[in-house]
Amino acid sequence: MTTMPSSRPPLRAVARADESHQDLVRRVHEQIIQKLDVRMLDALSPDESRRQVELAVATIIADMAPSMAVVTRQAITEGVVHEVLGFGPIQPLLDDPEISEVMVNAPDAVYYEKDGVLFASPIAFRDVDHIRRIADRIVAPLGRRLDETAPMVDARLPNGSRVNIVIAPIAVKSPMITIRKFQTDRFDVEDLIRIGTLTPQVAGFLRASIISKINVVISGGTGSGKTTLLNALSAFIPRHERIVTVEDPLELQLRQPHVLSLEARPPTGESSREFTQRDLVRNALRMRPDRILVGEVRGIEAFDMLQAMNTGHEGSLTTVHANSPRDALSRIENMVMMAGLSLPERAIREQMGSALHLIVQISRLTDGSRRVTHITEVSGLEGEVITLQDIFRFEGQRIGADGHVDGKLVAMGIRPAFAEKFVRAGVSEVWMGTPERARLS
């Protein structure tokens, strides 16, 4: 650590002045930059880096305001540590395990999601330049550009969290940061039953479907829990199978021993090649997979996914951003058409009708809860229309006196056409199962 004598006069009036907490953090931070070689902190362990910053802050505060209250001193120290080593004002939100997403819309407009509900935070940035500096700090270790020629970044942080940053000229009023935190506590099917996302009966049916190699699409809106559900259902894949995952970015946490993970990569420089999800799906087919899991189909890789499902890679799973099972089919059809293969609509729908077996619709309801609302079979093509039939449907939806949404998943009494696969796989007895039967053995 290198230090320099302070060139500023002692600011003993700081503790008495009517300055905000942010002003104090800013003034101490400015001196930290002078006193510490901040770049050298990267070579130290996290604990040692923090200790060095805390020592420097203590020295500065002793010079600035030796009579500063202990509580204020601790708050200033923590704020400066966040500025130097973390992501500034939003670091406490990121450290809170109950918060799942953090959104910075403007210096004085910071929001967070907790238990599926958005809240306004009292946390604020000083100005747009402060947000931009934190944005640069976020992307610097990722090797990604963030400037007027590349004003959008969508990436994965080293801890697995997803970050999206938008700056000018795209973001007109202020840089915007959205961080979806990586959930280290993985939900399993029993957890989803406990919180009401699934019922034991539906869990048993889905277990039978996964074991029987039914191709499954999980459909839902933003933040509805698609990836969480995909993670939970993946536990039903037998442990001896070879699984290849394709994601952008990496989020799945499979527990089987034979998992190969591929992650799409944008170009990071003039000579760096882009690797799209379509490239990875095509490559996955050459890796002798028993199953292919695509975290979310968003573009022309949908065509290759259908091809894989139709050519011996049954039991594949993916998610799609859509608000209903019918909407999910429309989205996939549009993505296939983006491949530019000039296929007639009927040919595309024939591919979809034979490749896709089951759509699981999950929704985030008005009370913030995530519920599976439809288990829908793709039953084939009639004329020009892909036919669907609900096997389970969420009914009786109403908002109770406590603000929670009431309702339940009800079996429609329909035996799916692929039920014969359950018999061949020896799981015909579990599709009406219990939580114990839904557990992966």
pLDDT per position as a tens digit, 352-367: 999 999 999 999 998 8
Q: Does residue 424 sit in helix, strand or coil?
A: helix
Instruction: Say what the pLDDT of residue 31 is.
Output: 80
Q: Which of 155, 180, 205 is the last residue of a domain?
A: 180
Co-location of 170 and 203 in the same domain: no
Task: Grade residue 268 by pLDDT with cuts at 50, 70 and 90.
Answer: low
Q: Domain range for residue 243?
A: 189-438
Task: Grade residue 318 by pLDDT with cuts at 50, 70 and 90.
Answer: very high
How far apart, in Å, are the Cα atoms of 56 and each of 20, 41, 60, 166, 420? Answer: 21, 12, 6, 33, 70
Co-location of 434 and 314 in the same domain: yes
Q: What backbone phi and psi angles, to 5 degrees, belong to 280? A: -75, -40
Please give the biggest Cα pair distance in the chain.
84
Q: Is the pLDDT of residue 17 over 60?
A: no
Task: Grade residue 293 by pLDDT with cuts at 50, 70 and 90.
Answer: very high
Nearby residues of 359 by Cβ (< 8 Å), 6 or more positions away: 216, 217, 218, 219, 325, 328, 329, 374, 375, 376, 378, 388
Task: Select the more confidently predicted residue: 397 or 188.
Answer: 188
**Mean pLDDT on 116-127:** 91
332, two tokens: 């996939």
How far apart, in Å, are the Cα atoms of 51 and each of 47, 57, 195? Answer: 6, 10, 41
Q: Does residue 375 sit in helix, strand or coil?
A: strand
Q: Does residue 401 sit in helix, strand or coil?
A: coil
Closest CA to 234 of 257, 252, 217: 252
Q: Does residue 222 sit in helix, strand or coil?
A: coil
| DSSP character string of 293-348 | EES---STHHHHHHHHHHTT-TT-EEEEE-SSHHHHHHHHHHHHHTT-----HHHH
How far apart, in Å, are the Cα atoms of 303 and each of 46, 77, 387, 395? Answer: 45, 54, 20, 34
> Per the domain annotation, does 7 fall within a domain?
no
CATH number of the structural domain spanning residue 381: 3.40.50.300
349, two tokens: 């729908």
Co-location of 318 and 392 in the same domain: yes
**Mean pLDDT on 386-412:** 88
> Per the domain annotation, does 6 fall within a domain?
no
Q: Which residue has the tokens 């595309």?
A: 348
Closest CA to 60 of 111, 112, 136, 5: 5
> Per the domain annotation, does 2 fall within a domain?
no
Closest CA to 106 of 124, 94, 86, 133: 124
Co-location of 311 and 405 in the same domain: yes
> Per the domain annotation, does 398 fall within a domain?
yes
Nearby residues of 246 by Cβ (< 8 Å), 6 or more positions away: 262, 264, 277, 280, 281, 284, 292, 293, 294, 295, 301
Q: Does residue 410 sit in helix, strand or coil?
A: strand
CATH number of the structural domain spanning residue 124: 3.30.450.90
Task: Grade residue 229 by pLDDT with cuts at 50, 70 and 90.
Answer: very high
> Per the domain annotation, does 358 fall within a domain?
yes
> Per the domain annotation, does 3 fall within a domain?
no
Co-location of 258 and 376 in the same domain: yes
Instruction: Say what the pLDDT of residue 14 is.
Output: 35
33, two tokens: 């930059």
Q: Does residue 351 sit in helix, strand or coil?
A: helix
Q: Which of 32, 67, 85 is the last residue of a domain?
A: 85
Instruction: Say what the pLDDT of residue 168 is.
Output: 93
Co-location of 152 and 119 in the same domain: yes
Q: Which of 97-106, 121-130, 260-269, 283-292 has the lowest mean pLDDT?
A: 260-269
Co-location of 77 and 103 in the same domain: no
Co-location of 340 and 229 in the same domain: yes
Instruction: Say what the pLDDT of residue 20 is.
Output: 64
Task: Grade residue 136 by pLDDT with cuts at 50, 70 and 90.
Answer: very high
Q: Is the pLDDT of residue 2 over 50?
A: no
Q: Is the pLDDT of residue 116 over 90?
A: no
Task: Grade residue 327 by pLDDT with cuts at 50, 70 and 90.
Answer: very high
How far apart, in Å, are the Cα atoms of 152 and each of 157, 163, 168, 256? Answer: 15, 11, 9, 35
Co-location of 80 and 94 in the same domain: no
Count up the domains in the chain and report the number: 3
Task: Select the more confidently predicted residue: 182 or 431.
Answer: 182
* Torsion 229-176-297-287 (CA) sign: negative
> Per the domain annotation, does 343 fall within a domain?
yes
Instruction: Say what the pLDDT of residue 38 is.
Output: 67
Q: Is the pLDDT of residue 7 over 70?
A: no
